[in-house]
Amino acid sequence: MSLIKFATTCLIAATVSQAVGESFSRQAQAQAFGEVPESFPIPGSLPDGTTLRVDGSTSMRLTNEELEGRFEQQYPNVDVELDASRTDEAFEALINGDIDVLSSGRPLTQEERNQGVVEVPLEQREKLAIIVGPENPFEGDLTFEQFAQIFRGDITNWSALGGPDLPIRFVDRPDYSDTRRALSTYTVFEGKPFETGATAAPIDDDETETVINALGEDGIGYSVVSQVLERDDVRIIPMHKTLPDDPRYPYSQYRAFVYKADADPATLAFLGFATSNPGEEVIGAAVDGDTAVADSDTAAADDGTAVATDPEAATADAAGTDAATGTDSAAAPIDTPPTAAPSDADVVAAAGAEAAGRGGFPWWILPLFAIPVLGGLLWWLLKKGGGAAAPAAGAGAATAGVAGAAAAGAAAVGAAGALDKSRLVLTPRDGQNAYAYWEVPQEKLAAVKREGGKDLTLRVYDVTGRPKQGPLPAPVGEYPCIEEHPDLHIPIQADDRSYCAELGYLSADKKWLPIVKSDPVRVPMQLGVDGAAPKGPNLGAMGAGAALAGAAALGAAKLGGKDKAANEAATKTDLELISGHPGELLLASPNGKRLHAQWDIPSESLAAARRQGGETMVAKLYDVTDYQPGADLPEPAAQVECSDQDVDAEFALPAADRNYMAAVGYQTAEGRWLPLAQSEPLQVAQSGIPGAAILGGAVAGVAGAAAMGNKNDQPSGEDVSVPSSSIKLSSQSSQKAYAVWDVPEAAKTAVKAEGGQTYQLRIHDVTDVDINQQSPKSTLTYDLAEADCDRTVPLPNGDSDYLAEVGYQAPGGDWLMLARSNVIKPLQTPDVSTSDETKDGDTGVSATDMAAVGAAMAGGLALSQTDKDQGQTVKVHSRKNALMFDAHQLHHIEHTVASTHYLSPGLYSLKIKDGVFNYDGDDSHPGEPFVILWIHGGTVINPQTGIPVSTTWTTLNGYDDSLTLTVREPATLCAFFVDTYPDDNTGEVTLAITKHEEK
């Protein structure tokens, strides 16, 4: 079937639409994490006689053995001495210089970290298995609660679990066991001391072999799963009808390698293997015996020394490694879905669907399995350029485990593709403070520094009343930044204004070299306390984008109704903060799929918590949707074990249209919960709505105190008008106008109470129309974010009269207008400057506004509605409306399909000299002279666009059409056609390429 025929079959479904399809490769993004170097050098050889000593948790035994095998294969002259004693003792040995690498099954304590060590966590946790002996007659499964009751000795007989009348022996590991400690962090053990009961049968060491030997027919114990898989002397008990190869299986354990900051090359090489996929280690040159001790803080490759994969990109690999390769017992997947790198959401969804058939699974535990352990990793907000998919992929790759190479490959590709993924998020915290967070690849920072950048600086601009991406005014604040700390708390000068931030470098001569700019955000009006806002906006009825993203900023805002009740309850049940120096915790759902908690805990609070026994920092997520004031907090919907250095955590969003709250604190060895901070409730609206991924500018409105008072005064139906709202429309050129409005939150609240749902700007063509009596000739409609206060709009016709309205559209289509502007005519002159500020109520019409201009055709936005006799405009998004060609396809086009020509630097013109192309030689059409051109490989400039690019596309249509091209760097021209069925095409065109003399 030819393209024409195929297209015809599709025509029936074609409408004026903006269907979009996100079809992007999911990416991982490498991030700096604490002091972990970005890479570890793996020299080609190590000096003879080198010995590497590794000791630590018994739970890391198989991981270490697998690494030892790989390491000694590369360095047969090096002796690796493995031991598996216990983490605390091995740590002392590390500090004393008795060993080189500590393999830990728990996060280091802050005290330990302060002793000059570097902790390299493995992103993949190891699952824990609940085990019995093969002769044990119990064949059922356990719930979390039942296991906790067994642990504590509350259940003493297998008959209580549906098994035979047989006493239970709980085979327990010693207190120092990292595996035991990992169990203690789970919520099911909260509230009571983490202690066994009368059924306990403790063993003397932390060896799984000892546990297995002690099981007998009545014992039950636990182990890291890799040490009990595929054995006939032990059996794993299902938990909630899942086994450890199921991502929903509950328990898992932290793992890390630790080394001293003055580590030698052999140690760093070992870490290089640990953070590389088997067979993918990048081996460099030899290190002779005189090689100086490497500085672990600068462990990147020296000359002649290659580096291993970025550890964060590769930790998933490493995790997959120890689970999937090497020893027999590690050959089975641990928590790996069958396909590589699904998103967390996918995992959860799939797991949910699957479990629906099995029943009984507590969904709150699900996010545990999909959360990367590297606390500094922020996957959220990659929405720009593949956005939401990218963070999901990052986490997905992390969960891929055995998918190994595929997942690792995705991560690596993602990391490489993330070089240009800079972003800066500015989030208001209240009326006086904001929080800026950025992600800028090191390569980008380095590039700007090479341009002269000296001091990394954050600038803050007051952009109230300014076009969203127009030129920035003078900054209102300038704050020095530290590259290693990609965030900053900044004061805000005035509330109820819009701000944006820009990160950049100042050069030595104070020249500003910008890197990335945030979206503008509205800092809400700071309201009074104690019910100044008795009824907040119905977040659920807001634009979803605002609700999802803006709620982060509104965490401290006043939430009405149910939300407020939850807030109060949360506060009431909030645990006493440890030291009287409460921390802050901000919960946000930047992309509608994940929840991101970020905290700032005073160091004295952390220290106080640790003094009181705090052992493990845990971030918890609570679903507080149905929370009643005065009630205890519900069971966490999810929890993440953190390291003391972490300042954030991510949770998969359990469900939309729910209210969530987060808390961070310490868990003691006895199971006590020492809270450090908790967030305000966050309402997460229905996900998947456009705009949900946009954080900036999506600050949800805060209900004004006057809202209730005004509510009953508002007329319903059309032409709802709040006197204090105003809008001004001014012409900027023959094609553009600038609308700026001022709508108090009280007005918004009132109109929404009347059913207003979608905040909109409408531009009406009112030529020869009495707008009070007649319908406009045409209307352009723009959906707005709650925080929007201005927009530049195209004017479809230079001869027409226009006015603007701002208001809300009700679900039934009714237009609830808040304000209407003056009438303008488009200017004939080119662009005029835009006023920065607009006074309330200033809706006067300037003389220039009224100037008549010549006809011009322009358009609107999104689903712009225009006069059918005039025209229409649509938005074409560079990502959403793009067809992606992958590397294979591009290679195929260049080397197999296209007619190509090498273009050396110079000025060219290209034209079709003769010939035609015909899609279907059997029909009567004569064919058309056209061709598609793809120019790539070097910088070129098409003067029609004037933008230097390394890839460009164009077509030539007809013999008079020509492409002028400035080729700055050698490039390749590919000329070709596309069709679904080329076999019946006929014709050939001749493309003439002329190189002109440079003037």
Site for another protein in 968-987 (CB under 8 A): 975-983, 985-987
Contact residue for another protein among 487, 853, 919, 935 (CB under 8 A): 919
472 makes contact with another protein (CB under 8 A)? no
- CB-based contact 292:65 (threshold 8 Å): no
Q: How far is residue 188's CA from residue 758's CA, in Å, rounded to a whole number?
A: 43
20 makes contact with another protein (CB under 8 A)? yes
Q: What are phi and psi of 559, to 5 degrees?
A: -110, 135
Contact residue for another protein among 473, 511, 882, 969 (CB under 8 A): 882
Residue among 603 and 944 whose Cβ is closer to another protein: 944
What is the footprint of another protein within residues 209-238 (CB under 8 A)?
none
Tokens 């001004």, located at residue: 728
State the binding string over 842-871 for another protein (x if CB under 8 A, else -): ---------------xxxxx------xxxx
Q: Which stretch binds another protein (CB under 8 A): 193-201, 418-426, 477-485, 844-852?
A: 418-426
Q: How far is residue 765's CA from residue 488's CA, in Å, rounded to a whole number?
A: 46
Contact residue for another protein among 736, 777, 820, 825 (CB under 8 A): 736
CA count, 13 A, side-chain hemisphere, 35: 15
3-state secondary structure of 24: coil
875 makes contact with another protein (CB under 8 A)? yes
Contact residue for another protein among 72, 283, 936, 972 (CB under 8 A): 936
Nearest alpha-carbon partner for 126 in 3, 227, 25: 227
User: Could you tell me where the beta strands, DSSP code E, fall in 508-567?
Assistant: 512-517, 521-523
CA 534 to chain centre: 34
Element (H, E) at 351: helix 344-358
What is the β-pairing status of strands 433-439 and 453-462? unpaired
- CB-based contact 592:547 (threshold 8 Å): no
What is the footprint of another protein within residues 952-971 (CB under 8 A)?
952-955, 957-958, 960-961
Contact residue for another protein among 115, 442, 628, 994 (CB under 8 A): 994
User: Could you tell me where the beta strands, DSSP code E, fall in 225-295?
Assistant: 235-236, 252-253, 256-260
3-state secondary structure of 485: strand
Residue among 22 and 328 whose Cβ is closer to another protein: 22
CA 468 to chain centre: 23
Residue among 468 and 562 whose Cβ is closer to another protein: 468
Q: How far is residue 135's CA from residue 233's CA, in Å, rounded to a whole number?
A: 9
Angle, nearest 10°, between helix axes 389-400 and 344-358? 60
What is the β-pairing status of strands 477-480 and 512-517? unpaired
Q: Which stretch binds another protein (CB under 8 A): 453-461, 641-649, 658-666, 918-926?
A: 918-926
3-state secondary structure of 845: coil
CA count, 13 A, side-chain hemisphere, 680: 18
Please state the closest distance from residue 736 (CB atom) to another protein, in A.
Answer: 6
Q: How far is residue 534's CA from residue 710's CA, in Å, rounded to a whole number?
A: 13
State the binding string over 367-406 for another protein (x if CB under 8 A, else -): -----------------xxx--------------------
Type of residue at 651: F
What is the footprint of another protein within residues 475-534 (CB under 8 A)?
514, 516-517
Contact residue for another protein among 48, 137, 945, 970 (CB under 8 A): 945
State the binding string over 770-799 for another protein (x if CB under 8 A, else -): ----------------------x-x-x---
Total Cβ atoms within 10 A of residue 629: 14
Q: Which stretch binds another protein (CB under 8 A): 69-77, 329-337, 466-474, 485-493?
A: 466-474
Please state the closest distance from residue 468 (CB atom) to another protein, in A.
Answer: 7
Q: Which stretch binds another protein (CB under 8 A): 21-29, 215-223, 373-381, 843-851?
A: 21-29
Instruction: Tell me the β-bridge partners of 751.
Output: none
State the binding string over 563-602 for another protein (x if CB under 8 A, else -): ----------------------------------------
Q: Which stretch binds another protein (CB under 8 A): 5-13, 595-603, 812-820, 837-845?
A: 5-13
Nearest alpha-carbon partner for 990 in 912, 888, 893: 912
Residue among 293 and 978 whose Cβ is closer to another protein: 978
Q: Which stretch binds another protein (CB under 8 A): 8-16, 202-210, 340-348, 373-381?
A: 8-16
Instruction: Tell me the β-bridge partners of 825.
Output: none
Residue among 121 and 927 whose Cβ is closer to another protein: 927
For residue 860, what are its two tokens? 């609107």
Residue among 341 and 707 whose Cβ is closer to another protein: 341
Contact residue for another protein among 350, 445, 771, 932 (CB under 8 A): 932
Please state the closest distance from residue 696 (CB atom) to another protein, in A.
Answer: 12
Nearest alpha-carbon partner for 483 in 426, 429, 444, 434: 444
829 makes contact with another protein (CB under 8 A)? no
833 makes contact with another protein (CB under 8 A)? no
Contact residue for another protein among 507, 538, 872, 939 (CB under 8 A): 872
Please state the closest distance from residue 931 (CB atom) to another protein, in A.
Answer: 5
767 makes contact with another protein (CB under 8 A)? no
458 makes contact with another protein (CB under 8 A)? no
Residue among 234 and 989 whose Cβ is closer to another protein: 989
Q: Which stretch binds another protein (CB under 8 A): 40-48, 150-158, 226-234, 924-932?
A: 924-932
Residue among 603 and 889 whose Cβ is closer to another protein: 889
Contacts of 373 (CB under 8 A, 6+ apart): 121, 122, 123, 124, 125, 254, 641
Element (H, E) at 987: strand 986-996
What is the footprint of another protein within residues 887-916 (CB under 8 A)?
890, 892-893, 897-901, 913, 915-916
Q: How far is residue 464's CA from residue 519's CA, in Å, rounded to a whole number?
A: 12
931 makes contact with another protein (CB under 8 A)? yes
Q: How far is residue 266's CA from residue 299's CA, in Å, rounded to a whole number?
A: 12
Please count the residues of the chain. Answer: 999
Nearest alpha-carbon partner for 252 in 669, 639, 610, 622: 639
Residue among 304 and 688 whose Cβ is closer to another protein: 688
Give Cα separations from 216 to 243, 639, 875 (angstroms): 21, 34, 70
Contact residue for another protein among 33, 927, 967, 971 (CB under 8 A): 927
Q: Which stretch binds another protein (CB under 8 A): 16-24, 233-241, 252-260, 681-689?
A: 16-24
Nearest-5° Cα angle at 809, 808 to 813? 160
- CB-based contact 702:522 (threshold 8 Å): no
Q: Which stretch binds another protein (CB under 8 A): 44-52, 74-82, 291-299, 989-997?
A: 989-997
Residue among 16 and 353 whose Cβ is closer to another protein: 16
Q: What are phi and psi of 223, to 5 degrees?
A: -165, 160
Contact residue for another protein among 83, 85, 153, 444 (CB under 8 A): 444
Please state the closest distance from residue 946 (CB atom) to another protein, in A.
Answer: 7
Please state the closest distance from residue 26 (CB atom) to another protein, in A.
Answer: 9
- CB-based contact 424:500 (threshold 8 Å): no
Residue among 210 and 962 whose Cβ is closer to another protein: 962
Q: What are phi and psi of 989, to 5 degrees?
A: -115, 150
Contact residue for another protein among 27, 58, 87, 227 (CB under 8 A): 27
